[in-house]
Amino acid sequence: MSDSASSEATFDSTSIFDLTGKVAIVTGGSRGLGRQMVLAFAQHGADVVVASRKIENCEAVAAEVRALGRRALAVAYHAASWDGADALADAAYAEFGTVDILVNNAGMSPLYPSPDAITEELFDKVVGVNLKGPFRLSVNIGTKMAAGDGGSIINVSSIASRRPGANELVYAAAKAAINNLTGGLARTFGPSVRVNCIVPGPFLTDISKAWDLPAFEKQARATYALQRGGQPHEVVGAALYFASSASSYTTGALLDIDGGPR
């Protein structure tokens, strides 16, 4: 029997989503999709670093992780800061000694009245949070992962990276760069580090409270195959897939979770 055949014969799929003994960092981890991923990782056995701008919100989610019996570290993190990315990595390694999973989830898409009203300050801020920070954090931690036991980097993009709207030009361009960066990092840090990307459509997180929901629901029925927005917990399956050994032969992939646009 060949080695591959022997491996297939002994493969046990019951534990492929098990994260016991793993350490994860989730940026933007104090609310919305980030919080759902933090809790899912903890429920599957991981210790988690919760990173976001407001330390009190990070501490609240870290307490939820500890209530699940896992270790947690709350870190105040400004995602546009190059030095902040290095400080977050240092804090995680100082506390846990390793990082196995990195989720670059932090993002921002501020509104503007018209394209010509976008200031240089706003442009730099949006690109900083959505691209510069994830780049620096990924190359810092990815280098350490590659020198050690490997790991998984999960970027979070947006369906706007493929179909940008008029009110999200800079955000969409930065997220398109994240799509591109995913493939580049996969080739840079392979074979021991996998780098993949979740590409969400409209999710009904706390941000959606500012939407005209009746208008959105009408549009969703007409333009999405599933005819609705996503619930925050519906990101969990993709996050667990990319974080765990379930995706051991997947890297450089972009996974749309967007309700199936028609």
Catalytic positions: 171
| Alpha-carbon gap, residue 58 to 5, rounded angstroms | 46
The gap from C-alpha 243 to its chain's centroid, in whole angstroms, comes to: 10
SS3 for 108-166 is CCCCCCCHHHCCHHHHHHHHHHHHHHHHHHHHHHHHHHHHCCCEEEEEECCHHHCCCCC
Q: At 250, is the secondary structure helix, strand, or coil? A: coil
| Alpha-carbon gap, residue 200 to 202, rounded angstroms | 7
The gap from C-alpha 74 to its chain's centroid, in whole angstroms, comes to: 17
| Alpha-carbon gap, residue 19 to 23, rounded angstroms | 8
